Amino acid sequence: MKKLLLPIYILVAGCLLMISFANSVSAQAHKISGKVTDSNGMGIPGITIQVKGTSAGTASDAQGLYELSAPSDATLIFSGIGYTSQNVISKGRSVINVTMQISHTQLNELVVTAFGIKREARELGYATATIDSKSLNQSKVYDLSTGLTGKVSGLQINLPNNGIDPQTRIVLRGNRSFLGNNQALIVINGIPMPDNYNLATLDPNDVKSVDVIKGAVGSALYGSRASNGVLLITTNTGVQGKPEIIVSNTTTFQSVAYLPKFQNEFTSYGGESIGRDLFGVTHVYMNPDGTPRYVPYENESYGPPFSGKGLVQLGGKVLVTNSNGSTTWDSLMVPDRPSPNSVKNFFQTGVTNQLNVSYSAGGDNSSFYMGVQHVTGTGIVPTTTKRRDNVTFNGTRKDGIFSAQYNVGYTYSKVDDVGPGYSQQFPLYEQILDNPPILNLAMFKDWRNNPFASPDGYVNAYNTNPWQEVDGSKINYYNNNLIGSFQLSLQPLSWLNLSDRVGATINNQVYKATQQAITFAEWAIQDPTGGGAWPSALQKFNGQDIDYTYTENIWHNDFLATLNHKFNDFSVNLILGASVSQSVLNNQQLSSTTLLVPGFYNISSGSGTPGFFQNKFEQRQYAYFEDLTLGWKDFLFLHLTNRDEWNSVLAPAHQHYEYPSANASFIFTDAIPSLHNSNILTYGKIFGGITRVANISLNSQGTYGAYQVQNVFNIGYASIFTTNAFPFGGLGGYSLSNVSLNPDVTPEKTISQEAGFNLGFWNDRINFNADYYHEVTSQQTLAAEVSHATGYDQKILNTGEMLNEGVELDLNYKVIQNASFTWNVAIHYAYNHNEVLSILPNNNSVQIGSFANDFLPLLDGGIFAQVGQPYPVIKVSDWQRDPQGKVIVDPVTGMPAVDHSLKIFGNTNPKNILGITTGFSYKTVSLNVVADYRGGYYIMNSLGRDLDFIGSDYHSVTNGRQRIIFPNSVIEVSPGKFVNNTSVATYDGGDPFWTNYYGTGIGSPYVTSAAFWKLREVSIAYQLPLKWMQRTHFIKSASVSLIGNDLIMLRPKTNYWTDPEFAENNGNATGRTSIGETPPARNYGFNITVHF
């Protein structure tokens, strides 16, 4: 920890030293007084006057008078409920009088919209939300998506995993496409990002604001990328006044928060009755009464209860080499009791450190911003690390009729992660969980020197040592990401503006996955435990290496001509635009599974033919668009847009589409005279709109490649994932897909409508917004089954239709606001309903995800789109049931019978999302809290199913491992006639019962409610007294804060296993946990920020 923080302290100290020399003359504090009045000259009480960058301030009295102490060059911020805030530079003055202007905040504020066009909120006929930098960074987040969660109605951000480099899923207003992209478009400084862009690439400290356009009505100018809404991210460009330097350091700690609920009652056994080890000794594992005995090498936990007395052997005999070179057979003896913290103690406390330095300056005609960030971190999984370095340069310049703006952001990131395990290539979490409770993993960390932890002698005969995996199986990759844009504007006339913006996103990833070679000793191969010895059954595991490179370059050019004029009560704003983008993607992979030199990971050192593939994809898109806004008396607006778009990935006959939209807004409090001076209803606006947009959904490479609409032969290639591939026998070859592509495929079409209203009460003290949206997406891109006589299994068609609708409500309440104390509360609620209206001809169901990654036989079912149901739903097998829903059991064995036909057990997308934020500040102390609720949906806990097979979780001991009468069961006494089961118990309550629960492919017992409450953010900040800063001569302000994320989670008692927010990946098939995840964690830490 000291090594991690030392460079940070040195750098901060160096910055302070340099600045102290550069600021040898400081501004001294002096008294400033004055009067705050309204437009009629009347004094206004309760206006807050704050010294910018500090917590120092005061409030005007009953006559509007104020007095405070501030540096001679300070900037004073005058603000109050119902008035427009003003920044006034003191310039050494001792008397400053200010006239406040009445403001309807929501109606007059500027909102960034499509193509970076700024509009007044009153003009917008669709729902938006703006999150400023202060709200985004109140808990000093590492990932921008974390700072958005819970703060926008309709915005759902999921963290599918908790690994060292997790990907997020960002969805606005639910799902529209069965198989295509449902995630929101991300635009940074006017430049659209690729669909796979990771928000964790950005430094949140560089972000000025995020404007959220929730639906397609507002994002229609993006055409075929508009259907999922947009996050418009604007980065800092500098501030007027004296240069400002901010140095900030944040250190956070991450620890495992929730693990499956384990059992600590029963020891190892897995169904064995007899076994013979390497020495010819026969072991009987069943008592005469049929109860199990302890099995020392087992991974399952269906043995006898722990005795808590004496020692027992763990694992088989191991050939140990003594210090004198001799060998002896030895056994590991451990107490006959559980190790309840074994799994938790395997994980470590992760530490992330963020150092930020920014410089900003500006004048009347120019501004400049530079931000630098250095992030280092260790994960909760041992040996995993991350690093991120960000550099941002932004600036503006105005010279007469010319103005220019540039934005450049570069990110370098590097991740060292753990790869798949040995023997069966299972992920690390499975290797950790697949052990009995008697095993204490901490004893086996030194796998190189401990003979009972080595590959030869590890005590679990069916699995490898997880400590070996974290050292021997590695995934290392680094990214270089550059986002840049330059905009030049010309205003030759007061009513005409011409601008041209060029931009680029360049992303390069280099990926390397390696697995260490293992050669087992002869005695280990001969199975000393008699338990099957899966790892040593491999006899030899060759070293493996995969080298993968990925490069994607996207170039953009946007030209806009803006014409605006007022004709008495009418206003006209017309924008004519053209947009061109071109994308080029290259990737290639080399791999070898036969490396000859242990520890030397170079493809050329492998024997045989290495696996290789190479791909290149190109796309070009260009469009013309018109954007017209008509206004009347500044309270009635009509907004019309149209985009003509051509996209090269479609066949020539289907490349051109038009995307029109229309929306309107009406500010009725300005239109109705009797409401002009209302002290209750300050403002009111109603709005509505309609549009038609699209989503291009093609297989394999998504939006890339015309080869996704024509049947062509693909170059055959070999990799470690393919066994029958070209070159074969020295011959190259080409192959044809079993899916027939369709040159007539068209984009998926979405018709979107929305309407709503905004209300403000008591001079902005309470703001309430509500909106309703209704969307129908048709012509979905799906694969239909066709006759094998065609030479194909499936054919791509445009078919299927889905309804998506919902309501969003936002309430903002300034409970208390005065010079000493403020309290604000915001509530953001969203309800979403969608329904699959149709899918394929003669087919009402399509599978979008399976449960195939479990480590035992495939479970029937998966994640489906189903006609008449929400999208998507869980379909799994269930017990056979009578007409009343009771479980039918065998009249002899008492075991439930399985119905292998799939049944629907609920949707996997939340119907209800609620975010609650509140902030308190008292003088120099502030507290901010964000809570988040999601409900009305379900999750398939595949993780629980796996643990029941192992016998390590609490669920598997709910019957005390005793025979039971199956709950709510019946017996069929004659065809169609059932009686309650009151006497026939299951023939077993241990291993056969629970592994059959699993082995029969049953899914219904593991479907639970996915509802949860989370405490997303907590931050407590303290501003150091201004008088302390004045003594330093160069520090304007300083603060310290304590921060926390995901500190508490509440979930239903039926969910024993994990965080219901998790999923196997960030694709459409949400609603499933698996053994491939890393357990959820909580984050807590501290921040120090200094302004110069």
Per-residue pLDDT tens for 147-164?
999 999 999 999 877 888
Q: What is the pLDDT of residue 556?
A: 96
Instruction: Tally the residues of the chain.
Output: 1092
Q: What is the pLDDT of residue 12?
A: 43
Sequence-ordered list of residues with C-beta below 8 angstroms from that of 715, at least 6 positions apart, any chain = 613, 726, 732, 734
Q: How far is CA 335 from CA 94, 114, 297, 306, in A?
A: 79, 67, 15, 10
Q: What is the pLDDT of residue 707?
A: 56
Q: What is the DSSP string of 153-207?
A: TTEEEE----SSS---EEEESS---SSS--SPEEEETTEEPPTT--GGGS-GGGE
Q: What is the pLDDT of residue 465?
A: 92
Q: What is the pLDDT of residue 728?
A: 58
pLDDT tier at 530 (50, 70, 90 boundaries)?
confident
Give exposure, 860-898, as e/b (b: 16+ Cβ within 10 Å).
Answer: bbbbbbbbebbbbbbbbbbbbbbeeebbbbbeebbbbeb
Q: Is 576 exposed, middle or buried (0-12, 13-18, 19+ CB in 10 A)?
A: middle
Predicted confidence (pLDDT) at residue 3 exceeds the cutoff of 70: no
Q: What is the pLDDT of residue 951?
A: 92
pLDDT tier at 426 (50, 70, 90 boundaries)?
confident
Question: What would you report as the CA-atom Rg of the chain, rounded to the nearest whole angstrom?
Answer: 33
Q: What is the pLDDT of residue 22?
A: 35
**Joined tokens for residue 1091:** 């302004």
**Joined tokens for residue 137:** 């960074």
Q: What is the pLDDT of residue 149?
A: 95
Contact in structure between 160 and 1066 (CB atoms under 8 Å): yes
Quick one: what percent of the chain has pLDDT higher than 90? Answer: 58
Higher per-residue confidence, 738 vs 628: 628
- Helix, strand, coil in percent for the chain, rounding step 5: 15, 50, 40
Q: What is the mean pLDDT of residues 749-766?
A: 94
Strand partners, 276: 282
Q: What is the pLDDT of residue 697?
A: 83
Q: What is the dihedral of CA 531, 534, 539, 544, to 10 degrees?
A: -160
Where in the chain are all domains bearing CATH 2.60.40.1120?
A: 2-103
Instruction: Tell which phi-psi region holds residue 494, choosing left (phi > 0), alpha (psi between -120 and 50) or beta.
Output: alpha
Contact in structure between 435 and 461 (CB atoms under 8 Å): no
Q: What is the pLDDT of residue 20?
A: 39
CA 451 to CA 459: how far, in whole Å?
10
Q: What is the pLDDT of residue 19?
A: 38
Predicted confidence (pLDDT) at residue 127 exceeds the cutoff of 90: yes
Name the maximum alpha-carbon separation found in the chain: 104
CA 988 to CA 869: how far, in whole Å?
38
Three-state SS at 543: strand
Does domain 2-103 fall under CATH 2.60.40.1120? My reply is yes
Contact in structure between 229 and 126 (CB atoms under 8 Å): no
Q: What is the mean pLDDT of residues 423-435?
A: 84
pLDDT tier at 723 (50, 70, 90 boundaries)?
very low
CA 587 to CA 616: how far, in whole Å?
7
Sequence-ordered list of residues with C-beta below 8 angstroms from that of 203, at least 6 positions apart, any chain = 356, 371, 373, 388, 390, 392, 411
Q: What is the mean pLDDT of residues 885-914?
A: 93
Can you give the pTM of this predicted structure? 0.88
Higher per-residue confidence, 561 vs 422: 561
Predicted confidence (pLDDT) at residue 725 exceeds the cutoff of 80: no
Q: Tens digits of per-residue pLDDT, 45-83?
A: 878 888 887 767 788 887 889 988 888 778 888 888 667
Contact in structure between 71 and 9 (CB atoms under 8 Å): no
Q: Tens digits of per-residue pLDDT, 844-858?
A: 998 888 875 555 556
Q: Tens digits of per-residue pLDDT, 551-595?
A: 999 999 999 999 999 999 999 999 999 999 999 999 999 998 888
Q: What is the pLDDT of residue 106?
A: 55
Among the residue ranges 84-98, 103-117, 351-365, the one predicted with the least confidence is: 103-117
* Residue 392: HSE in the Cβ half-sphere, 13 Å Cα cutoff: 31
Q: Tens digits of per-residue pLDDT, 998-1025?
A: 666 788 999 999 999 999 999 999 999 8
CA 210 to CA 217: how far, in whole Å?
18
- With tokens 């495992």, the residue in question is 256
Q: Calculate the CA 777 to chain-centre distance.
A: 25
**Joined tokens for residue 368:** 């400049």
